[in-house]
Amino acid sequence: MQLDHEYGSDRVIEADAWYLYKPEAGPVRCDRGQEQDAQLVSGSALLALKSGQIEDHHLKELKQLMRQLIRNHLGDKADCLPGTFFLGCIMQSPLAV
């Protein structure tokens, strides 16, 4: 997981900047006030994740980032994760009668 510099450049992550994290590439710097604002993560949170010194105010955006990465990795199977409900998961379950 790329956490120390922007995708496609040698620019280091800046704590006061905002990034769109592309799962297959890494963080891309973005301005706030655009459509993808809900998907943006602060440079401060990325740097905290890298250093392992995560503070309470980072948790919400890092949780969102981790969910995005897991969904990208699992694809359709992500709908079966705890905390989500998808009837197809029940039908696919080996426990379904």
Over the stretch 35-46, which tens digit does the pLDDT of each residue have? 666 789 999 999
Range of the domain at 47: 18-92
Residue 3 lies in a domain: no
Which residues are CB-neighbours of 93 under 8 A, at least 6 positions away?
A: none
Instruction: For 59, list phi and psi in degrees, rounded to 5.
Output: -60, -45
pLDDT over threshold 70, residue 80:
no
How many residues are listed for the chain in this entry?
A: 97
**Domains identified in the chain, total number:** 1
pTM of the model: 0.72
Mean predicted confidence (pLDDT) in 66-86: 71
Whole-number pLDDT of residue 78: 55
Q: What does pLDDT average to over the chain? A: 81
Contact 20, 39 (CB under 8 A): yes
